[in-house]
Amino acid sequence: MFDRAVSEMHERAGTRLFARNVRGFLGSTEINKNMEATLSREPQFFWYYNNGITIICDAAERIGSHGRDMIRVSNPQVINGQQTTRTLARAKPHKASVLVRVIRVPRGHDGQPSHFDTPVSQIVSATNSQNAVKPSDLMANDRQQIEIERELRKLGYGYIRKRQTKGEAKRSLGVFRFVVKKEELAQAVAACELDPFIVREGKERLFEKRLYSQVFPKGDPFFYLMRYWLMREVGYAAKGYPERAYAKWLVLHAVWPDLADIVRTRAEREVFKRIWEKNEWPLRSLLHANNAMFKAASEFYRLTRGKGAKAQDPSTFFKRRHMEREFRRFRNGGRNSHRGRYQKALRSFEKQFKEEMQR
């Protein structure tokens, strides 16, 4: 297909053409810059250098028009080649050609979305190789992600489920006071529910098949927001303390069960939503509790890191598997000198929170 035809296709449909794509436009990546350079200097070789564009559709029909063979498609979606399409559309006319693959993936009549979604996901994974596709990209159009986006929107939160430029995200989201990325929700849930070691291994691992269903088990927005809000508060308590950055996920894991025991019902979560969004006074007590837990983590590190040449640095120490088990025994034991301060701050938060519930 000639570049002009690709550009016209984009001009007619706009970003709707990429609704099934797992990413947004990535902007000036190295790959995209190289495409622009090829179009500018040697457009005749673009066909050979580029992987092409993959379009899926519900139906495709071969027709003739003015002595040319054409394909008429129904509900087309560019699932691979958005970067190529957008780059061609931005560039000036240059007489380049690009390979376009059209794949007909008819939707089933039994109402089962997996019959359509599964092959689409497999095609995306198999055909993307220029701007690399990450595990989090492949889950961007998962129905759980779409449900979470819808539910968060009702609460006034913008949800970024596709990797894209900041400008692209702003245009697609609209105006929200609070914007959350799916990677942030994944980290918050994993740190609260799983071994914090897993979070330290990297965000992308949380989107692999083995962990994804544990990290995103439901569509309830408060399931994610409660853990996200606490993650933000723990992160605030860690600011300015390099050692605390390593202990952050462990502290989040330790504090979460106590907060979850205080804020349990839908009504209580609604009140906590207001408290967090308006930064109201009960959060000061929660900050004191988080600080006490960080101090307990530092004490735990100093007492168990080893001695001499065998002493572990904070980065290595807090990355160990099953660290939360050892820390639980320590913080509930007599060697934790910060236990009383943590419990006092937590009781203060609970009292203030109950007062807020009665307002």
> In this structure, are 118 and 187 located in the same domain?
no
Q: Determine the Cα–Cα distance for residues 52 and 114; give it in Å rounded to an integer.
A: 26
321 and 188 in one domain? yes
8 A C-beta contact, residue 105 and residue 58: yes
Are the beta carbons of 55 and 10 closer than 8 angstroms?
A: no
Tokens (6 digits) for 325 = 């088990």
Residues 100, 205: one domain? no
104 is a domain residue: yes
351 domain residue, yes or no: yes
C-alpha to C-alpha distances, 281 to 228, 326, 344, nearest whole angstrom? 19, 33, 16
In a domain, 166, yes or no: no
Give the separation between CA 258 and CA 254, rounded to whole angstroms.
Answer: 8
Which residue bears the tokens 């408060």?
222
Does residue 244 register a pLDDT over 60? yes
Same domain, 231 and 349: yes
Q: Comparing C-alpha atoms, which of 219, 257, 251, 213 is closest to residue 232?
A: 251
Q: In angstroms, rounded to a whole number, what is the distance separating the alpha carbons of residues 290 and 298?
A: 12
Point out the domain boundary residue: 126, 152, 173.
126
Phi, psi for residue 347 in degrees, rounded to 5: -65, -40
Query: Band of the pLDDT at 198, cuts 50, 70, 90?
Result: very high
312-340 mean pLDDT: 95
Give the separation between CA 287 and CA 302, rounded to whole angstroms: 23
In a domain, 90, yes or no: yes
**108 and 193 belong to one structural domain:** no
For the chain, the average pLDDT equals 89
Number of domains in the chain: 2
User: Are 294 and 203 in the same domain?
Assistant: yes
pTM listed for this prediction: 0.74
Q: Output the DSSP codes for 3-15.
A: HHHHHHHHHHHGG
Q: Looking at the domain assignment, is residue 138 inside a domain?
A: no
The secondary structure element, H or E, covering residue 85 is helix 82-90
Residue 61 pLDDT grade (very low, low, confident, very high; cuts 50, 70, 90): confident
Question: What pLDDT does 241 receive?
Answer: 94
204 & 336 share domain: yes
**Containing domain of residue 32, as a range?**
3-126
**Four-residue CA torsion sign, 235, 238, 242, 247:** negative
Q: How many CA atoms lie within 13 A of 233 on its CB side?
A: 30
Helix (H, G, I), strand (E, B) or coil at 239: coil
pLDDT of residue 283: 96
Q: So what's the pLDDT on residue 94?
A: 65
- Tell me how far apart the alpha carbons of residues 14 and 154 are, in angstroms, rounded to a whole number: 26
Per the model's pLDDT, the better-predicted residue between 98 and 168 turns out to be 98
Co-location of 202 and 337 in the same domain? yes
Question: Is 74 in the same domain as 204?
Answer: no
Query: Is 140 part of a structural domain of the chain?
Result: no
Residue given tokens 């109950």 in the structure block:
354
